[in-house]
Structure 1
Amino acid sequence: MLKIKNARRNNQRQTNIIKYDLPLFYRKQQVTATEAQVIALIPKGEDSKVTMTDLARLASLDTRTVQNIISSAKKKGVPILSSRKAGDSGYYIATTEEERRRGLATLRHQIKEISAGIEGVEGADLDRWQRSTGFNEQLEKIMKRKREMKYD
């Protein structure tokens, strides 16, 4: 379970819990033919990865469709993981417990980042965010540099 602290609903502070236990509904389903096609293109093992762009091209599908297929396959129990390391990113099918552990650590980190984003948006002052984040000052600096470059 993942706690999201200080969530706001109806102007009241409360703590929400997000469970990521999968319903049995997903675990009992078999992969579809299209899912099988995409899964077959994903290399086994962390040392051999395929990027989303390459996977979509190989499957003759758009990236959004491939992302949805991967999400669905994961829910059905296919151990598809990914790495986001610069120069070594891509999808793979875990073949060892160590690969699974590293891949799950990446997913858990993503959950924390998404949760932090949710908290930031929930706590944002809709009327004063530009002032409180220094947005206006940074934008003015950018515009000033652009004007200076234009006249150089």
Structure 2
Amino acid sequence: MTIKNTATAKYEGLGKKGKGSVSTGSGAFSEQPYGFQTRFEDKKGTNPEEQIAAAHASCFTMALSLGLAKQGLSNGTLQTKATVELEKDGEGFTISKSLLMLDATIAGISREKFESAAQEAKKNCPISKLLNCEIGLEINSFTSMS
């Protein structure tokens, strides 16, 4: 089975003064502004690293949810924040790290089994497999519900 998804990016003008927009094929976001200013100067809009962070957080969280469901669990909440680090690398830049920070409340599982499931999801979600950088996981909170 192959699933294909698309996104388009347009950039008008060149270099730091250029302005871009990015859209997803699904229409989840359309013509969102991006450019040098949104990437390096905190101007309102998006940037590729933010989009990777969103993709990694959502992919990991879904993978963990599916893994827990395979264990017969059905009651709980997962919330993940991903922080993607962009660092100077010679004349260019590289994504050096994606840190997943997880808060969870799950019924019917021990912390040890939960941590194992979270590590498995971190290792095997498709976005983790795509990234060629350090991927960290911090479980900020875990509550086992009775």
TM-score, structure 2 normalization: 0.25
The structure that is strand-richer by fraction is 2
Larger RCO: Structure 1 or Structure 2 (Cα < 8 Å, ≥ 6 residues apart)?
1
The structure that is helix-richer by fraction is 1
TM-score, structure 1 normalization: 0.24
Q: Higher Cα Rg: structure 1 or 2?
A: 1
